[in-house]
Amino acid sequence: MSMPARSAATTFTGWGMLLSGVGAVVASVWGVSPYPPLVVELVLAGLAVVCAAGWVIASYKAVARARDPLSKPFRETRRPNPVLPYLIGFGVPVATFAAFLTAFTVSSSYGRETERLERAGYGEYEVRVVRLAGLPEFQEGDEDIEPYYLTDLTLRIPYEDGPREITVPGMYTRHKPPVPGTEMDVYYAPRDPGTPVTENGERSNPRLIFVAFLGIWIWPLILAIGGGLRAYASAKDLHRLRRFRPKVHLPALGILLTGGALLVPTALELEVAGYARPLALLSCLAPALAMAWVVRTG
């Protein structure tokens, strides 16, 4: 039984689909777009969908030409690209983690405010107490928390356009109340006096937390899963995988498209009856389900 012919268009669109999909995954992990709308990620994912459609069309045409008795015979190589096993093996776990990161991307308002504060030099600085603006309130604490004081303090904030005195309520001190001249740590923006001065103003970035979590716990799992899938992908398996077959690839593409569609509300910051983030989390299952379908039916 002869193999279906593979045209240059089939190969081009197939690799375009893979490279665009890889680009979307890398952009999600790397954080190219820091907050919605995730323009770069959506463009690359959309390009992958277009290339997938082109791959399907080109594959059908290639099969039709192979059945034409007047067409030139085509012999397919038995040496698949050595990069393909790595794309298949590590693509599934990394794509799953990319979807997980996208599900927990920060809101656009939080992202824009964080960018504005970063431009204004926002961060934690040590400033001096000018005077007490209220009586210290003693807090007993317990077996886990030592006794402390909460005091309204007037602080001298050295803004770039000149120092100002700002009163901050409820400043925390351990063991004893503060006195004028005490150094306190506060968050403020030196180039923007309109930004509030706060004691606890650290701005969290869930993406950085998850990337750190990735480095400690997830990378070993990704390496183990990716290595196992790569070892499974023999030359014979790769030929079956890259040669388009409707009953194998169309359902797999449908699963991946469904996963991508579940990410769109979060990527565009659209509310879907309050379920945008849970839907995005469901998309994490799409890469593994698509691969399981291909392995089972292929």
Dihedral angle sign, alpha carbons of residues 68, 74, 76, 81: negative
pLDDT tens readout for residues 116-171: 999 999 999 999 999 999 999 999 877 788 899 999 999 999 999 999 999 999 99
Q: What is the mean pLDDT of residues 95-114?
A: 88
Dihedral angle sign, alpha carbons of residues 275, 92, 95, 53: negative
The Cα-based distances of 142 to 139, 150, 175, 192, 275 in angstroms read 9, 16, 13, 39, 40
Amino acid letter for position 43: V
Cα(77)–Cα(85) distance, integer angstroms: 16
Confidence at residue 66, expressed as pLDDT on a 0 to 100 scale: 64
> Is residue 225 classed exposed, middle or buried when 0-12, 13-18 and 19+ CB atoms within 10 A define those classes?
middle
pTM: 0.78
> Is residue 150 classed exposed, middle or buried when 0-12, 13-18 and 19+ CB atoms within 10 A define those classes?
middle
Give the closest residue to 184 by CA, choosing from 142, 264, 130, 135.
130
List the alpha helices (DSSP H) in the chain: 8-30, 39-66, 84-103, 108-119, 206-213, 219-232, 235-242, 246-267, 276-282, 286-297
Q: Per mean pLDDT, which range of 3-12, 51-60, 136-145, 245-254 is the poorest?
A: 3-12
Q: Per mean pLDDT, which range of 33-37, 42-46, 125-129, 205-209 is the poorest?
A: 205-209
Confidence at residue 255, expressed as pLDDT on a 0 to 100 scale: 96
Confidence at residue 119, expressed as pLDDT on a 0 to 100 scale: 93
